[in-house]
Amino acid sequence: MALTPSKMLPLGTEVPDFTLPDTVSGQNLSYADVRGEKGTLVMFICNHCPYVKHVQSELVKISVDYSGEGIGFVAISSNDVEKYPEDGPDRMREVARKWGYSFPYLFDETQGVAKDFQAACTPDFYLFDHQDKLVYRGQLDSSRPGNGKPLDGKDMRQALNDLVNGNPVSENQIPSQGCNIKWKS
């Protein structure tokens, strides 16, 4: 696994629109379908990455804690499933059910959505406000597998609290880090 930082898409960027299949419901969902009244968190994750596995429990907690606060949530997997079959739609559905994802888990087979977001790693996070402008793209918290720091979602929770309460989100943001997205050849 190659430790890769997020590319830090410019703040204020308008959300790239998308429509992708949800591996749990079987429906095609667009950004408008997952959008929250106050904001939307788009998460690029996958099944096999140890960095994603490390944060899964906190992702579930955050989605439960903030979905009632007007925040929409969606996860997207864009990995090449020919080389990484454990990241395929059937396994995505299994992982979503096992962890109790309360958010859709979409499959980006063409990898076009990941490219539109300039996603680089898993996990990679993009928080958009009620006007669909990017206000946060950074780490969940400073915890990484094996570093002993608490998994508490501190950075993401601060950004979500600011957004929900109508306060400006700090522009001092630390890139997320994880496995690189597994691009097709």
Structural domains in the chain plus CATH codes:
3-180 (3.40.30.10)
Q: Is the pLDDT of residue 53 over 90?
A: yes
> What is the rounded average pLDDT of the residues 96-119?
96
Q: What is the pLDDT of residues 61-99, one digit of tens each?
A: 999 999 999 999 999 999 999 999 999 999 999 999 999
Strand partners, 21: 28
Q: Is the pTM of this model over 0.85?
A: yes
Q: Is the pLDDT of residue 1 over 60?
A: no
